């Protein structure tokens, strides 16, 4: 029987993380690099993905390449597979983590129901849902021979309805498109899990809110509603991603893991 350390070891494997320059993308990239995984960090040309990749490679002495792609564009998404194929000839882990959501100022996004824009909703679904499917579809041939793992990053709002009383008196909100796209991602995970088994596993993680200096009134209400009595930190997710990416979870597929401090437990 293998040891826990052997099951967790990712040496020789390659992971692609979308939104790799973002807060959570960077944190989970660090965790996988520590387990000796090679990485491809995908993010937009406006992000600091190149610098993030260099820093990670130097810190963990592993190969980390950056890839600047706007996931909203189907044509640009089509360049991902040839890039990974040429660079690594294989893929073991795909983490669909990038999301259309840090766009608070966009008109028709954080707005009352009747003012939410359908055009913005389509953009959100394109990035959060269709791009995740497109990458799984185009990259799965590179993953089949190695026992691949797909991890889709969802949210409590992909599983539960929003409690709008949390946002009262703040500029924050909870657009329908976000939860809709994240709920779709959880169901897409089950679909992929059954279609791609036994060669490739697919699971999702549904995250609770991460503390980032949000309005005090929001944080107080959020914490009061959370059994663990705090918001999440990026560190809270790295263990789950290491588990789902590695052979530690070799018999786990089609599951959605809530990492929410118990938010969904009552
Ligand atoms: N932060 C939270 O409270 C929270 C809660 C639940 C779920 N999540 C989920 O966690 C994931 C990561 O969130 P985060 O908090 O690290 O956000 P973040 O904004 O820090 O990172 C998201 C990254 O995705 C990239 N991205 C966005 N649109 C893209 C596009 N079109 N093409 C390529 N890259 C694109 C951004 O440039 C950014 O680097 C998201 O899927 C989000 O929905 C976050």
R_g over Cα of the chain: 18
The token pair at 92 is: 């073991």
Distance CA 85, CA 83 (A): 5
Residues with a catalytic annotation lie at: 178
Tell me the backbone φ, ψ of residue 165, rounded to 5 degrees. -65, -15
* Atom from ligand 1 closest to the CA of residue 178: 43
The domain spans of the chain are 4-259
Interior CA angle at 263 toward 261 and 266, to 5°?
A: 125
Distance CA 243, CA 250 (A): 9
Mutation to probe ligand 1, out of 17, 20, 24 (largest number of atoms < 8 A from CB):
24
Residue 238 near residue 28, CB atoms below 8 Å: yes
pLDDT (tens place) for every residue of the chain, 266 residues total? 999 999 999 999 999 999 999 999 999 999 999 999 999 999 999 999 999 999 999 999 999 999 999 999 999 999 999 999 999 999 999 999 999 987 778 999 999 999 999 999 999 999 999 999 999 999 999 999 878 999 999 999 999 999 999 999 998 989 999 999 999 999 999 999 999 999 999 999 999 999 999 999 999 999 999 999 999 999 999 999 999 999 999 999 999 999 999 999 99
Q: Which protein residues touch ligand 1 with a CB less than 6 Å away?
A: 18-19, 21-25, 43-44, 47, 70-72, 97-102, 127, 153, 155, 207, 209-210
Distance CA 206, CA 202 (A): 14
- The architecture of the domain spanning 4-259 is 3-Layer(aba) Sandwich (3.40)
């Amino acid at each position: 029987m293998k040891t826990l350390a052997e099951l967790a070891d990712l040496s020789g494997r390659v992971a692609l993380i979308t939104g790799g320059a973002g807060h959570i993308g960077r944190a989970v990239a660090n965790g996988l690099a520590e387990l000796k995984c090679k990485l491809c960090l995908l993010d937009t040309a406006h992000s600091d993905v190149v610098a993030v990749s260099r820093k990670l490679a130097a810190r963990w002495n592993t190969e980390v390449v950056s890839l600047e792609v706007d996931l909203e564009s189907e044509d640009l998404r089509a360049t991902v597979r040839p890039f990974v194929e040429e660079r690594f000839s294989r893929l073991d882990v795909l983490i669909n983590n990038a999301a259309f959501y840090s766009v608070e100022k966009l008109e028709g996004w954080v707005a009352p129901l009747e003012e939410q824009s359908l055009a913005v909703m389509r953009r959100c679904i394109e990035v959060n849902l269709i791009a995740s499917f497109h990458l799984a579809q185009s990259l799965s041939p590179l993953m089949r021979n190695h026992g691949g793992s797909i991890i889709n990053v969802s949210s409590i709002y992909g599983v539960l309805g929003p409690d709008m009383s949390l946002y009262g008196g703040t500029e924050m909100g909870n657009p329908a498109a976000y939860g809709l796209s994240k709920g779709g991602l959880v169901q897409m995970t089950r679909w992929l899990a059954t279609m791609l088994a036994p060669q490739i596993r697919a699971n999702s993680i549904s995250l609770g809110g991460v503390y980032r200096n949000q309005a005090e009134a929001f944080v107080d209400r959020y914490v009061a509603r959370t059994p663990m009595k705090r918001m999440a930190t990026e560190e809270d997710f790295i263990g789950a991603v290491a588990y789902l990416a590695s052979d530690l979870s070799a018999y786990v597929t089609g599951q959605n893991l809530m990492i929410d401090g118990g938010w969904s437990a009552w």
